[in-house]
């Protein structure tokens, strides 16, 4: 288990309200393994059980059934929290404090003594670009600045594992890019990142592996490149004689005609070359050849909608 940053075994969290007849499984038999040093995307629609899982991992709530381990120890062990950091979704900090004061507060929670504490706080303020605003109260901070201070408090203890819940939600494009770059920087430092996010393009860009949760059940798990395999190439040709269409159809793929133009979707480049040869030899004109890569958004929608239809 030592190479695993997070491991859950049949993790189940059931909520049974006082008056509700039917208990609800927020997370059901979740088996998850996150390796040290990887960036893991934890995806799912609202109410899928992502935040519930994170809360179990942090010991904020307790599992109904199953087990959860973080850095090799049972989840929620505060002694283990020296090596972990957490950024909640839309974090709220004591807004009467300044940026420097809030980081000092969290540094005290980590037991970092002076003079290291001040040194570390100053370093992080510099790193997240808040040195100039360090002595302003947090209530004057923009959303992007709040998120930066949130990330800074995550880095105080130089953690092995960072759990980030929607780290880029609601940010303007510049702040968004800044936070994303900081995450990439953390990856380069060899940190393990467990990111729950709806920003699928970000997840696709930074994560090594993803899991998709739907209604408390894990419905997809794998490396991004494996999950996103299966794109296609779209070829559009004009003035293709009718006698050339049949051999193209025989190559497989999807063939259709729109406004006299032939549209061919082929799963791989090799077949596309043959389609081009047929079109040209028949006197047709190639208008465009465009590769379409499957995106995480496509996979997400297919998975979730497939689950709904099932």
Partner 1 sequence: MNATFAIAGATFGEAVRKRILMVILLVALLIILISPAFEPFAAGRGARTLIISFGFGVIQLAGTFIAIIMCTGMIPTEIERRTIYTILSKPVQRYQFVLGKFFGAVGTLAFMYLMMGIVFLIASRLALGSFDPQIVKGLIMFFFQSSLLAAVVLFFSTFVSPLVNYFLSGGVFLMGNLLSSFLETIQRNPDVTPITRIPVQLLTVILPNFANFNVQNPIINPEQVLTDEVAYLVQTIAYAIVYMALLIVASMLIFNQREM
Rounded to a whole number of angstroms, the minimum distance from the CB of residue 61 to partner 1 is: 4
Rounded to a whole number of angstroms, the minimum distance from the CB of residue 69 to partner 1 is: 16
Rounded to a whole number of angstroms, the minimum distance from the CB of residue 20 to partner 1 is: 16
Q: By CB under 8 A, what part of segment 27-56 binds partner 1?
A: 55
* Span interacting with partner 1, options 88-96, 216-224, 254-262, 284-292, rule CB under 8 A: 88-96
Among 16, 31, 90, 140, binds partner 1 (CB under 8 A): 90
**Quick check: 62 binds partner 1 (CB under 8 A)?**
yes
Measured CA distances, 43 to 72, 164, 165 (Å): 23, 12, 10
DSSP the chain: -TTEEEEEEEEEEEE--SS-SS-EEEEEEEEEEEETT-EEEEE-STTSSHHHHHHHHHTSS--SEEEEEETTEETT-GGGGGGEEEE-SS----TTSBHHHHHHHHHHHTTPPTTHHHHHHHHHHHHTT-STTTTSBGGG--HHHHHHHHHHHHHTT--SEEEEESTTTT--HHHHHHHHHHHHHHHHTT-EEEEE-S-HHHHHHH-SEEEEEETTEEEEEEEHHHHT---EEEEEEES--HHHHHHHHHT-SEEEEETTEEEEEESSHHHHHHHHHHHHHTT-EEEEEEEEPPPHHHHHHHHHHHHHH-
Nearer residue to partner 1 within complex by CB, 19 or 92: 92
* Span interacting with partner 1, options 92-100, 171-179, 211-219, 237-245, rule CB under 8 A: 92-100
Residue 252 near residue 274 (C-beta atoms within 8 A) = no
Number of residues that bind partner 1 (CB under 8 A): 32
Nearer residue to partner 1 within complex by CB, 108 or 239: 108
**Quick check: 19 binds partner 1 (CB under 8 A)?**
no
**Quick check: 59 binds partner 1 (CB under 8 A)?**
yes
Nearer residue to partner 1 within complex by CB, 78 or 173: 78
Residue 258 in tokens = 């729109």
Among 103, 163, 193, 275, binds partner 1 (CB under 8 A): 163
**Which among 170, 118, 132, 129 has a CA at the least distance from the CA of 151?**
129
Nearer residue to partner 1 within complex by CB, 55 or 209: 55
Cα–Cα distance measured from residue 229 to residue 232, given in angstroms and rounded to the nearest whole number: 10
Residue 37 near residue 209 (C-beta atoms within 8 A) = no
**Quick check: 92 binds partner 1 (CB under 8 A)?**
yes
Nearer residue to partner 1 within complex by CB, 79 or 132: 79
Q: By CB under 8 A, what part of segment 97-126 binds partner 1?
A: 97, 105-106, 108-111
Rounded to a whole number of angstroms, the minimum distance from the CB of residue 154 to partner 1 is: 9
Rounded to a whole number of angstroms, the minimum distance from the CB of residue 168 to partner 1 is: 18
Nearer residue to partner 1 within complex by CB, 90 or 269: 90
**Quick check: 148 binds partner 1 (CB under 8 A)?**
no
Among 37, 66, 88, 307, binds partner 1 (CB under 8 A): 88
**Quick check: 79 binds partner 1 (CB under 8 A)?**
yes
Binding residues for partner 1, rule: CB under 8 A, are 55, 58-62, 78-79, 81-82, 84-88, 90-94, 96-97, 105-106, 108-111, 150, 153, 157, 163
């Amino acid at each position: 288990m030592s190479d695993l940053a997070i491991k859950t075994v049949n993790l189940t969290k059931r909520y049974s309200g006082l008056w509700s007849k039917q208990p609800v499984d927020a997370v059901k038999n979740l088996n998850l393994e996150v390796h040290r040093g990887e960036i893991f995307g934890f995806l799912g629609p609202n109410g899928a059980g992502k935040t519930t899982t994170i809360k179990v991992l942090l010991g904020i709530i307790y599992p109904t059934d199953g087990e959860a381990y973080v850095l090799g120890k049972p989840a929620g062990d505060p002694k283990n929290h020296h090596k972990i950091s957490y950024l909640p979704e839309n974090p709220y900090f004591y807004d009467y404090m300044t940026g420097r004061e809030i980081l000092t507060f969290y540094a005290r929670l980590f037991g970092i003594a002076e003079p290291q504490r001040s040194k570390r706080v100053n370093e992080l303020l510099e790193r997240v670009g808040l040195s100039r605003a360090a002595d302003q109260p947090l209530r004057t901070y923009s959303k992007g600045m709040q998120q930066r201070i949130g990330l800074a408090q995550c880095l105080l203890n130089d953690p092995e594992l960072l759990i980030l819940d929607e780290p880029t939600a609601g940010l303007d494009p510049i702040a968004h890019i800044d936070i994303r770059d900081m995450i990439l920087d953390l990856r380069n430092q060899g940190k393990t990142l467990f990111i729950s996010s709806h920003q699928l393009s970000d997840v696709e860009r930074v994560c090594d592996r993803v899991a998709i949760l739907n209604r408390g059940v894990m419905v997809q798990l794998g490396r991004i490149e494996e999950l996103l395999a299966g794109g296609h190439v779209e070829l559009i040709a004009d003035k293709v004689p009718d006698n050339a269409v049949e051999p193209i159809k025989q190559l497989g793929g999807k063939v259709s005609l729109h406004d006299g133009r032939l549209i061919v979707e082929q799963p791989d480049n090799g077949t596309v070359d043959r389609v081009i040869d047929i079109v040209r030899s028949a006197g047709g004109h190639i208008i465009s050849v465009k590769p379409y890569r499957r995106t995480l958004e496509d996979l997400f929608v297919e998975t979730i909608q497939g689950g709904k239809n099932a």
